[in-house]
Amino acid sequence: MKRIATYAIATTIVLLAIMAIADPGAAFGTGIGIAAIAAFSRTCGKNVTGNSSVYFTEKDNVATVTVTSGEISAVTMESGKTFLQADVDLDTLIRTQEGEGTANNVKYTHRIEMKFSNLDANLNTFRDSLAEASACGIIAIVTDGNATSWMVGFNDTDQFARPLRLVQDSDSSGAEPGEEDAGLTTIALECQSGYLDLPFDSTAGATITGGTATFITFN
């Protein structure tokens, strides 16, 4: 009987091991390290692509960011500090997230790209400021064509540990009048993390699009 019991226990262990490899949820239940896929319900409505505005600040200027149910509900700045608006050329501001990974390892590359015309000393000052701030890191807010604002360079897990940094700052005078994409400066900032950009909730977002957010200095 002892041999039969030992054999039965060994057989059960082997079967559980096989099931764990083939289907962990079936072997141990969905409560042990198994993430459930969320449902997604489409909202019917107009979708406007592109972005309308962008704001930057040094990482250390942001004291706290409050995240509620996956949305940013409040931003507290250090004393006297705000996000500053950058007036980019129309239809040149792009926010992207490129995800890649293997198995359970996931990485997102967050990028903001923008263009500025009229090369001059004022633009040089802005470009130099981004280069200086890049050393410690930059946090950005981008408002898209649907009036949704996104914070880039922050996530609720890493907090401010993976901010944006300058990866491109280039310009070209062009060779002749009217040359397409000439006389423009292209600036890009990037960072990497394991998490997506976070949107502002409707209340905090409305203060940004309405120009009343106290954590932003609007032009």
* pLDDT single digits (tens) 32-50: 556 688 888 887 888 889 9
Does 17 have pLDDT greater than 60?
Answer: no
Is there a single domain that holds both residue 201 and residue 125?
yes
Domain check: are 175 and 134 in the same one? yes
Residue-range definition of the domain harbouring residue 19: 1-41
212 in the same domain as 158: yes
- The distance in angstroms from the start CA to the end CA of the chain is 85
Q: Are residues 14 and 114 in the same domain?
A: no
pLDDT grade for 177, boundaries at 50, 70 and 90: confident
CA distance 88 to 143: 12
In a domain, 46, yes or no: no
Predicted TM-score (pTM) of this structure? 0.81
Q: How many Å apart are CA 75 and CA 64, to the nearest integer?
A: 6
Confidence of residue 28 (pLDDT cuts 50, 70, 90): very low
Same structural domain, 58 and 110: yes
Q: What is the pLDDT of residues 160-176, one digit of tens each?
A: 999 999 999 999 888 88
At residue 33, the pLDDT reads 58
Indicate if 3 and 68 belong to the same structural domain: no
Q: Is 185 inside a domain boundary?
A: yes
Q: Which of 208, 163, 194, 195 is nearest to 73 (CA)?
A: 208
Query: Are 170 and 205 in the same domain?
Result: yes
Same domain membership, residue 99 and residue 197: yes
- Does residue 93 share a domain with residue 34? no
**pLDDT at residue 99 tops 50:** yes
Per the prediction, the chain carries an average pLDDT of 88
Of 142 and 3, more confident: 142
Please name every residue paired with 135 in a beta bridge, in sequence order, or none if there are none.
none
Spatial strand order of the sheet with 184-193 comes to 94-102, 105-117, 184-193, 165-172
